[in-house]
Amino acid sequence: MAAPESGDGNNGAARMVTLISSDNTRFEVEAAAASLSQTLQLTILDGGGGGGDGIPLPNVDSATLSKVLEYCIKHAPAAANGGAPNATAVDRAELERFDNEFVNIDQSVLYSLIMAAHNLEIEGLQSLVAKKVADMIKGKSPMEIRRTLGFPDPTPEEQAEMNAHMLEYGWAYE
Amino acid sequence: MEQDLALLLPDDLLADVLRRVAPRDLAVSRCVCRAWRALIDEHGLLRTDLLPLSLAGLFLRFAFVEYHEIEYAEPELFARPPVDIAYSMPTDLYDHCNGLILEYESVFNPATGGRAPLPDPPVSSRLELDDWRYFYFHQHLAFDPTVSPHYEVFMVPYVRYYFRLDVLPTDNVLLLQSEWPPSLWVLRVLSSRTGRWQERSFVREGEAAGTVAGLRSSCASDHAAPTAEDEEAGLHLLRALADGLLGVALHNDSRGLHLQNKKISYYAPPAFDAATATRGSRRRNAAVQTTIDLYIACFAVQMPSARATTLLELSTCAFRADSNTQGGTYPMP
């Protein structure tokens, strides 16, 4: 339990909230971290999640929720400061390193994460994962993109359609 | 739990992903599947104006004359620094236009590696044009993505000649005395929109260049030294075709030079000059006055990853390629 005088998470003075995953695991986390989620922030501002109640999150399993909270806890201080004045270049570099490491995970986890970020309205996390997926597309041919993202092999008709559209865009745009 | 990420994402999340993809990758993403294409189009994500135009390499095809025959070498890639685009080398360079390459019986996009086979052209309803003893055909490609995503291929007949006139056929007197080009020209045209060859009629504007027999003999005598006039006439021919068929201003300033350097024929009829062709400025380029042409198709590749994912601009230049430049240093524009 964080001490009240802790400088971190000053929003609500390290007030704790409890989140309950779809598989009934309870997570206790600082309200400031949970508030990175727009949806949770409203509940928390209404006084929810404190004490023994907990906020049920029926759409998020415990594995995903712990990952989401890992992100929130890391980003809460920067978010609370609004980028100033503690956000030094070192801090930002550290966050960036964390983010890069954070999304270096299986696609199935990425999928769960972006869905959770979407449901909980955690803007930073959603863009982080979306950016990661966008990077996976970068510099690839259409077939390579399909393979990378686990599409099934194209049917002959799909293949023909792909080929046709590959010709369609010859990129001589002005 | 094996999830197919891209397939399961709801549209708004997929759109959020694709919004972060650079224009050139987005253009490739459009080919991935129907759903992606629909999404990209629906959200208007592909800002074509943002596609960069930069030059990273050239396709070269050397041509040289040997025993009065024009021989063509395989297309080669010239790029500095070198790029690895093995998957997108054209097998040939019959013609090209704004990013697409016409190969033997296929159209190829080196940007994506996409290749569309061309169906065999049907026999012309104008049988005399199919007489290979008198005519031969070049296929020409017309494509302007700023106008239409579809390309068209034209079968354009040329009067056959040989440096020895006495080996050419003379039995069809009527044909030999007829005007060239004819006042009504029926050409076979393939549109990628339909995927089928169709015949289209073209009306000659202006005087004929002469007769088939006359062109044949003048070609034979001029064979070694085609004139700039001949060359330019060929360009007018293509302009007329392009204008008439596609409404494509292929001869605008930025592309006029490209087109000018496109070798159509040494002996295309000078009189086949559509009124529309005069809209383009007439340019002269001494470099095209040569019997030996070097075809250069310029394209750009994505440099950071050194991969040819996007073809940005395609143009041609014709240089005099003397025998001592073959296989040696390439002249660069």
Pairing of strands B294-299, B57-66: antiparallel
Per-residue pLDDT, B297: 31
Q: How far apart are the first and last CA of chain B?
A: 56
Distance from CA of B46 to the nearest CA of A (A): 11
Tell me which residue in B31, B192, B309 faces A162 most closely, judged by beta carbons: B31
pLDDT of res. B22: 79
Q: Do A173 and B192 touch (CB under 8 A)?
A: no
Res B153: pLDDT: 86
Is A105 near chain B, with CB under 8 Å?
Answer: no
What's the pLDDT band for A130 if we cut at 50, 70, 90? very high
Binning pLDDT at 50, 70 and 90, where does residue A98 land? very high
Residue span(s) of chain A under CATH 3.30.710.10 come to 16-81+88-138
pLDDT band of residue B189 (cuts 50, 70, 90) is: confident
Most confident option among A42-46, B177-181, B213-217: A42-46
Counting residues of chain B whose pLDDT is more than 90, the rounded percentage is 2
How confident is residue A21, by pLDDT bands cut at 50, 70 and 90? very high
Amino acid occupying residue A131 = K
The answer to whether the Cβ–Cβ distance between B21 and A138 falls below 8 Å is yes
Interface of B with A in 194-253 (CB under 8 A): none
- Give mean pLDDT, residues A105-127: 92
- pLDDT over 50 at B313, yes or no: no
Question: What is the pLDDT, as a whole number, of residue A33?
Answer: 92
Weakest mean pLDDT among A60-64, B179-183, B193-197, B300-304: B300-304
ipTM higher than the 0.95 cut: no
The whole-number pLDDT of residue B41 equals 85
User: What is the model's pLDDT at position B272?
Assistant: 25
The model's confidence at residue B262, banded by pLDDT at 50, 70 and 90, is very low
Distance from CA of A122 to the nearest CA of B (A): 13
pLDDT digits (tens, 9 = 90+) for B192-250: 888 899 887 766 666 666 788 877 766 554 444 444 444 444 333 333 333 222 222 22
Reply yes or no on whether the pLDDT at B169 is more than 70. yes
pLDDT value of residue B232:
41
- Residue B21's pLDDT is 87
The DSSP output letter for B163 is S
Residue B20: which of A134, A163, A169 has the nearest Cβ?
A: A134
Q: Which of A30-34, B166-170, B311-315 has the highest mean pLDDT?
A: A30-34
**B127 CB-contact burial (10 Å; exposed 0-12 / middle 13-18 / buried 19+):** exposed
pLDDT score for B49: 56
Mean pLDDT of A16-43: 91
Does the distance separating the beta carbons of A166 and B112 come in below 8 Å? yes
A72-83 mean pLDDT: 79
The mean pLDDT value of chain B amounts to: 58
User: Looking at A121-130, A151-160, B43-52, which range is the least confident one?
Assistant: B43-52
Q: Is A138 on the interface with B (CB under 8 A)?
A: yes
At B285 the pLDDT is 25
Q: Is the pLDDT of residue A81 over 60?
A: yes
* Residue A83 main-chain phi, psi, to 5 deg: 90, -15
Q: Do B302 and A139 touch (CB under 8 A)?
A: yes
Q: What would the mean pLDDT of A15-26 be, rounded to a whole number?
A: 91
Q: Cβ neighbours of residue B40 under 8 Å, at least 6 residues apart?
A: B18, B26, B29, B30, B46
Q: How confident is the model at residue B5 (pLDDT cuts 50, 70, 90)?
A: low
Average of per-residue pLDDT across A83-88: 58
pTM, whole model, 2 decimals? Answer: 0.47
What pLDDT score was predicted for residue B57? 57
On the question of pLDDT at A114 being above 80, the answer is yes
Kindly determine whether residue B149 and residue A145, on different chains, have CB atoms separated by under 8 Å: no
The candidate with the shortest Cα–Cα distance to B13, out of A47, A166, A112, is A112
Contacts of A114 in chain B (CB under 8 A): 9, 13
Burial A52-64 (b: 16+ CB within 10 A, else e): eebbebeebbbeb
A112 torsion bin: left (phi>0), alpha (psi -120 to 50), beta (else) = alpha
Write down the pLDDT at residue B278.
26
Residue A116 has pLDDT above 90, yes or no: yes
Pick B143's closest partner by Cβ from A112, A154, A170.
Answer: A170
Query: What 3-state DSSP class applies to B59?
Result: strand
B109–A140 CB contact, under 8 Å: no
Average pLDDT over residues B136-148: 71
pLDDT of residue A88: 72
Q: Contact, A74 vs A36, CB < 8 A?
A: no
Determine, for residues B112 and A169 on separate chains, whether the beta-carbon distance falls below 8 Å: yes
Cβ-Cβ contacts under 8 Å, B2 against chain A: 108, 150
Distance from CA of A112 to the nearest CA of B (A): 9
CATH topology of domain A16-81+88-138: Potassium Channel Kv1.1; Chain A (3.30.710)
CA A69, CA A57: separation in Å to the nearest integer? Answer: 13
> Of B11, B14, B17, which to mutate for an interface test with A (greatest number of A Cβ within 10 Å)?
B17
Residues in chain A within 8 Å Cβ distance of B4: 149-152
Under the banding of pLDDT at 50, 70 and 90, the label for residue B154 is: confident
